[in-house]
Amino acid sequence: MTETRRGVYPAPFNDPHADATTQPFWDAALEGRLVASRWNACHTVVLPPQPRCFNCQGKDFDWVELPGTGTIYSYTVVRHPLLADLAEVVPYVSAVVELDGTQGAGARLSANLIDCDPEVVAIGDKVRVIFDRTSDSLAVPRFVPAP
Ligand SMILES: [Zn+2]
């Protein structure tokens, strides 16, 4: 990153331990695209992908690109640095974002909400994804407030 952002949780998980099922998500993130699995039989959108669809028990899905916007479903403000490395980044916001473009139950993504005032974050706020390139092989999805 070339600019200074606020509330960025460090990315100690330089390896997301992707496997054959989840690697397409990370490949798309490197290209700045937010994708999710959509089951062919019932069109339910799920993140992360599962071995079987929870809705129809189907086995086959395709990856679809999402608009990258969403709504805060839940969040917490972390104020206490559990590790010394976190002392300079608290408070930071960890949010569960319900993703636009996912019908039905809605696919949700747990991610860091940055460049916001933790004192005014609220459930229902609109957000959009950005991809924080933390290495040559990893772009971490984070969210910022959307107008
Ligand atoms: Zn299904």
Q: How many structural domains is the chain composed of?
A: 1
Is position 14 within any domain? Answer: no
* pTM to 2 decimal places: 0.88
Which residue, among 122, 129, 78, 81, has the nearest Cα to 101 in the 3D structure?
Answer: 129
Is position 16 within any domain? Answer: no
Convert the pLDDT of each residue in 6-25 to its tens digit.
888 776 655 678 888 899 99
Is position 51 within any domain? Answer: yes
Which CATH number covers residue 120? Answer: 2.40.50.840
Omega within 30 of 0 (cis) for the link into 91? yes
User: Rounded to the nearest whole angstrom, what is the distance from the C-alpha of residue 123 to the centroid of ligand 1?
Assistant: 28
C-alpha to C-alpha distance for 102 and 119, rounded to whole angstroms: 29
User: Rounded to the nearest whole angstrom, what is the distance from the C-alpha of residue 61 to the centroid of ligand 1?
Assistant: 9
User: Rounded to the nearest whole angstrom, what is the distance from the C-alpha of residue 49 to the centroid of ligand 1?
Assistant: 11
User: Are 73 and 143 spatial neighbours (Cβ–Cβ below 8 Å)?
Assistant: no
Q: Would you call 124 helix, strand, or coil by DSSP? A: coil
Convert the pLDDT of each residue in 73-96 to its tens digit.
999 999 998 888 888 889 999 999
User: Rounded to the nearest whole angstrom, what is the distance from the C-alpha of residue 44 to the centroid of ligand 1?
Assistant: 5
Is position 120 within any domain? Answer: yes
